[in-house]
Structure 1
Amino acid sequence: MAGAARTAWLLVVLCSCCSWTQRQILVAATTDANDVTALNTLFTSMNSPGQLQGWKVNGGDPCGESWQGITCSGSSVIAIKLPSLGLSGTLSYNMNNMESLVELDMSQNNLGNGQQIPYNLPNKKLERLNLAGNQFTGTVPYSISTMSKLKYLNINHNQLSGDITDIFSNLPSLTTVDLSFNSLTGPAPPPPPFTAPPHSRKRGKSPGQHSNGSDTSSSDGSSGIGAGAIAGIVVSILVVGAIVAFFLIKRKQRKSAMLEHFEQRQPFNSFPSNEVKDMKPVEEATTIEVEPLPAPTIVNVKPPLKIERKQSFDDDGFANKPVAKKVNAAPVNTKVYSVADLQMATDSFNMDNLVGEGTFGRVYRAQFNDGKVLAVKKLNNTALPSQSSDDFSELVSNISKLHHPNLSELVGYCMEHGQHLLVYDFHKNGSLHDMLHLSDEYNKPLSWNSRVKIALGSARALEYLHEICSPSLIHKNFKSSNILLDMELNPHISDAGLASFVPDAEFQVSDQGSGYSAPEVDMTGQYTLKSDVYSFGVVMLELLTGRKPFDSSKPRSEQSLVRWATPQLHDIDALDRMVDPALKGLYPAKSLSRFADVVALCVQPEPEFRPPMSEVVQALVRLVQRANMTRRMLDGEEASRRPDDQDQEFL
């Protein structure tokens, strides 16, 4: 007995030691790098709230340091619970990188600020999503349909609107949905698959139904729905439907034939087997690389219905609004260069190193002693009217906080002897403008795949400025010469934040008559988010046609690219004739047509009919996904295809 007791005691001690050791390993675990980056970005997107204990803008160990509201398993973050803390701003754009997140509860805060719920939420393991009691607008993001493990969804008490699309059919685990206190229309979500019917008082019968299946009211009134109640519900539905139909018809009468044509497009989930028959051969054997791509999405890029909602950034016409308060903030995470350093790197700003000149100043190529090549933007006097050092410090501080893969990154600045210079990454392929319009015998024309890739990356950059940054930023100077291309032809938007952060700037950043500015900008000189959308549409037209936005060398009827191209965007034969000849016919007709549909929406003369950039992004993502589906269909028929066809890809 004594020996058995000692053995049992040793086992208890050993188990205790193992348990203690395991706890120590878990505590010492370093949080997954993707989770740390996503939480850093979330903290910044929420305006770095001081009430969140332990949270940091950069780095840190959320699991090891026990950040407020964070729950971990090992080195992975599995839950974020921050309800009722008065948080503002919005959610971060890279939360989909948190692949282990099971629960996200940001309810009863002030998040959204009149912006949409981001579409790139965690989707691999997320089971509970609670964004109730915030200030999100727009529609329910279709990306929710990719959250296959989702069990609980609560987005009540927001400012959501529009139709409830079929996003619940692919969510087999979903048991609780609360969409109340919004302005949503359409049917209520269907019950989850395999849900049993409600039980009646008598075994084997549903309420109000005899065993033979005929409908009738309950004899004792204790179960079922009375015929009068049913009739009342039907009448109510018919009245509401008639009212909605009336306004829809009135609205539709104002739409152009172009939009009506777009509405008749087949949805993503209707994919005829013969769709690939009218596609032309493509020169490349690889699909477009647009990583990271979100999961399959459907987006409605039709002009939204006017609804009553909280006033957003664009709602009061075209009046300018300040987008940043004046704060004496020190620059962050940027290197300080001396004038001597930059003079040496640019050969005293020699004209041989001049690579561009724009509204804000000249840009020079800078070669440093360590072999690194950067771009130096020398701001002119009109960019900083007051020439104040405090203003420039604030400008640098604000721009240095902008981080996105498709923005040109600020790496340093110089503020000496009255000089104001910004130092950016240098991109060896130059600008999209030069690639399209100054091609020579050494430059290979951009393929169709590359053009779609550039359009999608540029759209994502504008989406970041418009819908992720808080407050929203208007670029005001979006054009092909401000889209820089790296060696893989990834786009990087330059001048982001300059027009919005320059204090008291009283100058036109887009040249009148350049072809990029929206009609309302030409008339009033005022910019909105929707004027950026118009400029983006013009750049898409450049990619499609290879033409400049305004070309005085063309016949008078063809000088304005938008006026010449818009009437032809839904005419297949005309569209085929207006494509950039440099493509030599190497593009698929279906992809071209869908690309043109997005262009048509972006360059509409009425700002309210232009889609937000998040919908443009998802439309272009859908274009790529449909192309990849086509590729998979063709791969399945590979055995029956001709040998010379087997290496072709379709976009």
Structure 2
Amino acid sequence: MRSMRSGRDNNICFLGFLSFALISLPSLSLALTNPDDVAAINSLFLALESPLLPGWVASGGDPCGESWQGVLCNASQVETIILISANLGGELGVGLNMFTSLKAMDFSNNHIGGSIPSTLPVSLQNLFLSGNNFTGTIPESLSSLKSLSVMSLNNNLLSGKIPDVFQDLGLMINIDLSSNNLSGPLPPSMQNLSTLTSLLLQNNHLSGELDVLQDLPLKDLNVENNLFNGPIPEKLLSIPNFIKGGNLFNVTIAPSPSPETPPSPTSPKRPFFGPPSPNASAGHGQAHVRSPPSDHHPSRPTPQGKEDSFTSKRIIWLSILGAFSFVVLALVCLLCGRKCLRKREDSEQLSKPHLTSEYGRAREGSRSNASMLPPSNTFNKDKEARPKERVGGASKLHGGAERSVGSESKQESHEIDMNGNAMDLMHPSSIPPIKRVIAKATEPAEASLKRTTSKSHGPLTAVKHFTVASLQQHTNSFSHENLIGTGMLGSVYRAELPGGKLFAVRKLDKKSPNHEEEGKFVELVNNIDRIRHANIVQLVGFCSEHSQRLLIHEYCRNGTLHDLLHIDDRLKIELSWNVRVRIALEAAKALEYLHEICDPPSIHRNFKSANILLDDDIRVHVSDCGLAPLISSGAVSQLSGQLLAAYGYGAPEFEYGIYTMKCDVYSFGVVMLELLTGRKSYDKKRDRGEQFLVRWAIPQLHDIDALAKMVDPSLKGDYPAKSLSHFADVISRCVQSEPEYRPLMSEVVQDLSDMIQREHRRNDSNGDNQYTGRR
């Protein structure tokens, strides 16, 4: 009897397992990834320089069946790729158009460079590339992405004009192009974006008028810190969140055009992944955006409603198999118990530890793995309305990982804080909660060990870590030919990557503070990367090994303002009066950001024309920001004060060891004097009474005849007299001997903006405008 009973039990178990196999067979057959998608993702893997991502391979494989990290599928087609803060480098490559049904692509907060491919999949609905190193222009092929609803390209190095590609992009909900180097007017086709509710353009060099936006159903519009001019269309003033400071607008309001049929603000009928709705926050005096629900996160694309995508054939198969196996499964559960099911569930959980489908789990994982929200700058120039800057959670700084520091670090991007603070996003309110996947990069053992050694020092940095060997290779072993310059903190070298991209490598002197303690150096790196502004040199990475401490920054091909004014006579000719005023304005915006917007506020301590770098378009990028801790202690601080005073940049209070923000204002006034006169701040070759520029210039700033004689001869008298007088007045206030009489940098920015606006009106009447070009 026992043997018969045992045989019967074995037969029942066999039938149970057979049922499982029959049920699993259709899903297994459908899990095989479309060959075109496999080829596309293999190409992407190679273009990204073969990162350490679980499951990903350079050839073949089954992304859907093997659950590659960050890849979500619908049946056999790859629909979503989410790899946020995954320490990715390289480029996106040219094979993306091979994806057959890719709808969402999120590579936010990585170090991907090169240009944005012109071969993006036409099925794309959501594109998030914010917080990377993309250069070049926005591709005109965007016009073919007719299903696109959300596009975030902010916090990159994009330049050129916004292409006129929006004629057929009527489903766009959210566009974020902030914090790039974009220039030129807004394209006319933007007026066709009939469903656009959020447009972020701040911190660029865009110009022209805003009339193309006046009929759009916008709820959030940020055009701060650009070169927009002309009257503000009256309709734009009714936008709930309209931020417009730091531009050249006329005070008058443009009259509304004749009534027309307004564009329909309704959302597209198809499901889409989009931003959550804005919500005013009374706490900061400015419109902040609504925190996401506790169990879901609507800010990023993930596939939803997979049941809706099942074909009718598959439903029939599953129904038949389910009915057939129901009785057998019931018997198996009774006889074999729940242990088999528990083991099966445990094995499934262990096989996919890196993917979390519910937002509740994803949010918990984000605190230790990655930031989940796209950076999106929103600055308000007015003090009462300035939002605090945000910083992400774990693993990215520019050029190598995520822009992240500890709980005290903040950044001008909407990212989730490591301490779980509620963050807000600017998105439409009609978006349903969607699921979220967190991508966690895998590190080599030695890299992981290196990072764990600094746990006791506070938050770990996620800035890209370069090795000394790689930097030696890129700088030709720090050869003299690659030496750019030498300062009080060390030497700066030019580094050239195999693709031709250039970086500036600062090799810190071993005697500088924070050099020996790696924890303090990592904290310094985090604080430098927290500083994010269009007119401030961007951190790309760092190196800390073999007692070497190096910082890697973006490279500006036109060198420094000092060289342009005092050494390179050929390029100095291009510095017309209008360009000089614009340079002063952009440098002032950088200091305004450090003093009044950055949280906590930061003092530069070493502001001079040699630290104002100029790119190909003669745009300002202030260097040495965030390095004040290396200057503020001991002999280095004393040397810094002595050098600044000796070279004519130091405020009078330097003699008493005092350095405040008003000292930066004084140094800025000296740089303005250099722009005005073409003279060095200190020139020992001149007569004794003319060696120090400030001492020589101050008595003449309010003498009209003397002022005209002070102007740089290379301008050949080509400047407006009133503009010259206003420029001299700003200088006079900045170089006051008493700190309390010097203005705030926000006041300087406003004065220079008003000056340029007046000149714009004058030039517009003459059909001439030189502020936006190289001349």
Matching residue of 1:257: none
Matching residue of 2:656: 524
Matching residue of 1:620: 752
Matching residue of 2:739: 607
Contact 2:560 2:612 survives alignment (8 Å) = yes
Q: CA deviation at 1:451?
A: 1.2
**SS at 2:548 equivalent:** coil
Separation in 2 of the partners of 1:554 and 1:562? 14
Q: Is the alpha carbon distance of 1:527 and 1:427 closer, same or farther for their aligned partners in structure 2, counting shifts above 3 Å?
A: same
Q: Cα RMSD between the aligned structures?
A: 4.9
Find the partner of 1:125 among 236, 239, 242: 236
Separation in 2 of the partners of 1:35 and 1:337? 25
Q: CA deviation at 1:585?
A: 1.8
Q: Which residues in structure 2 correspond to 1:313-328 (within 5 Å)?
A: 328=458
Query: Is 1:446 the counterpart of 2:575 in the alignment?
Result: yes
1:14-33 deviation digits (Å, cap 9, x = unpaired): xxxxxxxxxxx9x9886654
Q: Is the alpha carbon distance of 1:425 and 1:564 closer, same or farther for their aligned partners in structure 2, counting shifts above 3 Å?
A: same
Contact 1:130 1:155 survives alignment (8 Å) = no
Matching residue of 1:496: 625
Query: Is 1:570 the counterpart of 2:702 in the alignment?
Result: yes
Contact 1:79 1:101 survives alignment (8 Å) = no
Query: Is 1:560 the counterpart of 2:692 in the alignment?
Result: yes
Matching residue of 2:610: 481
Matching residue of 1:344: 473
Q: CA deviation at 1:360?
A: 1.7
Separation in 2 of the partners of 1:327 and 1:445? 49
Q: Is the alpha carbon distance of 1:442 and 1:33 closer, same or farther for their aligned partners in structure 2, counting shifts above 3 Å?
A: closer
Contact 2:250 2:757 survives alignment (8 Å) = no
Q: Which residues in structure 2 correspond to 1:27-106 (within 5 Å)?
A: 32-33=150-151, 76-77=196-197
Q: CA deviation at 1:536?
A: 0.5
Q: Is the alpha carbon distance of 1:615 and 1:148 closer, same or farther for their aligned partners in structure 2, counting shifts above 3 Å?
A: farther
Q: CA deviation at 1:499?
A: 0.6
Q: CA deviation at 1:331?
A: 2.5
Query: Is 1:467 the counterpart of 2:596 in the alignment?
Result: yes
Q: Which residues in structure 2 correspond to 1:281-430 (within 5 Å)?
A: 328-332=458-462, 334-385=463-514, 387-430=516-559
Query: Is 1:582 the counterpart of 2:693 in the alignment?
Result: no
Separation in 2 of the partners of 1:101 and 1:472? 36
Separation in 1 of the partners of 2:522 and 2:475? 23
Q: CA deviation at 1:404?
A: 1.2
Q: Is the alpha carbon distance of 1:622 and 1:31 closer, same or farther for their aligned partners in structure 2, counting shifts above 3 Å?
A: farther
**SS at 1:356 equivalent:** strand
Contact 1:119 1:143 survives alignment (8 Å) = no
**SS at 2:541 equivalent:** strand
Contact 2:248 2:754 survives alignment (8 Å) = no
Contact 1:375 1:425 survives alignment (8 Å) = yes
Q: Which residues in structure 2 correspond to 1:194-233 (within 5 Å)?
A: none
Separation in 1 of the partners of 2:650 and 2:763? 38
Q: Is the alpha carbon distance of 1:79 and 1:620 closer, same or farther for their aligned partners in structure 2, counting shifts above 3 Å?
A: closer
Q: Is the alpha carbon distance of 1:389 and 1:157 closer, same or farther for their aligned partners in structure 2, counting shifts above 3 Å?
A: closer
Contact 1:475 1:500 survives alignment (8 Å) = no
Q: CA deviation at 1:523?
A: 2.3
Percent identical among aligned pairs is 44
**SS at 1:364 equivalent:** strand
**SS at 2:546 equivalent:** coil
Contact 1:428 1:486 survives alignment (8 Å) = yes
Separation in 1 of the partners of 2:740 and 2:672? 19
Matching residue of 2:350: none
TM-score (norm 1): 0.52
Structure 2 letter corresponding to 1:431: T
**SS at 1:400 equivalent:** helix
Contact 1:35 1:77 survives alignment (8 Å) = no
Structure 2 letter corresponding to 1:432: L
Q: CA deviation at 1:390?
A: 0.9
1:271-324 deviation digits (Å, cap 9, x = unpaired): xxxxxxxxxxxxxxxxxxxxxxx99x9x9xxxxxxxxxxxxxxxxxxxxxxx98
How many residues are matched?
397
Q: CA deviation at 1:145?
A: 6.4
Q: Is the alpha carbon distance of 1:443 and 1:504 closer, same or farther for their aligned partners in structure 2, counting shifts above 3 Å?
A: closer
Contact 1:391 1:503 survives alignment (8 Å) = no
Q: CA deviation at 1:586?
A: 2.1
1:427-477 deviation digits (Å, cap 9, x = unpaired): 111111111111255764522222112111111111111111011111010
Matching residue of 2:324: none
Separation in 2 of the partners of 1:32 and 1:368? 33
Q: CA deviation at 1:506?
A: 5.7
Separation in 1 of the partners of 2:484 and 2:508? 14
- Unpaired segments of 5 or more residues in structure 2? 1-122, 127-146, 157-175, 179-192, 257-279, 286-378, 383-407, 411-455
Q: Is the alpha carbon distance of 1:130 and 1:626 closer, same or farther for their aligned partners in structure 2, counting shifts above 3 Å?
A: closer
Structure 2 letter corresponding to 1:125: L
Separation in 1 of the partners of 2:720 and 2:533? 30
Structure 2 letter corresponding to 1:494: S
Separation in 2 of the partners of 1:523 and 1:425? 34
1:304-352 deviation digits (Å, cap 9, x = unpaired): xxxxxxxxxxxxxxxxxxx9899622333x3221111111221211112
Matching residue of 1:245: none
Contact 2:585 2:753 survives alignment (8 Å) = yes
1:564-605 deviation digits (Å, cap 9, x = unpaired): 111111111101111111222222222211111111111111
1:221-274 deviation digits (Å, cap 9, x = unpaired): xxxxxxxxxxxxxxxxxxxxxxxxxxxxxxxxxxxxxxxxxxxxxxxxxxxxxx
Q: CA deviation at 1:58?
A: 13
Q: Is the alpha carbon distance of 1:353 and 1:393 closer, same or farther for their aligned partners in structure 2, counting shifts above 3 Å?
A: same
Structure 2 letter corresponding to 1:528: T
Query: Is 1:634 the counterpart of 2:745 in the alignment?
Result: no
1:150-179 deviation digits (Å, cap 9, x = unpaired): 9xxx999999xxxxxxxxxxxxxxxxxxxx
Contact 2:493 2:504 survives alignment (8 Å) = yes
Separation in 2 of the partners of 1:602 and 1:491? 20
Contact 2:535 2:589 survives alignment (8 Å) = yes
Separation in 2 of the partners of 1:462 and 1:336? 28
**SS at 1:336 equivalent:** coil
**SS at 2:607 equivalent:** coil
Contact 1:482 1:493 survives alignment (8 Å) = yes
Contact 1:405 1:492 survives alignment (8 Å) = yes
Contact 1:385 1:505 survives alignment (8 Å) = no
TM-score (norm 2): 0.44
Q: Is the alpha carbon distance of 1:146 and 1:647 closer, same or farther for their aligned partners in structure 2, counting shifts above 3 Å?
A: closer
Q: CA deviation at 1:419?
A: 0.5
Q: CA deviation at 1:75?
A: 6.2
Q: CA deviation at 1:359?
A: 2.2
- Unpaired segments of 5 or more residues in structure 1? 1-24, 39-56, 60-72, 81-91, 106-117, 132-138, 160-293, 300-322, 636-645
Contact 2:153 2:177 survives alignment (8 Å) = no
**SS at 2:545 equivalent:** coil
**SS at 2:470 equivalent:** helix
Contact 2:536 2:590 survives alignment (8 Å) = yes
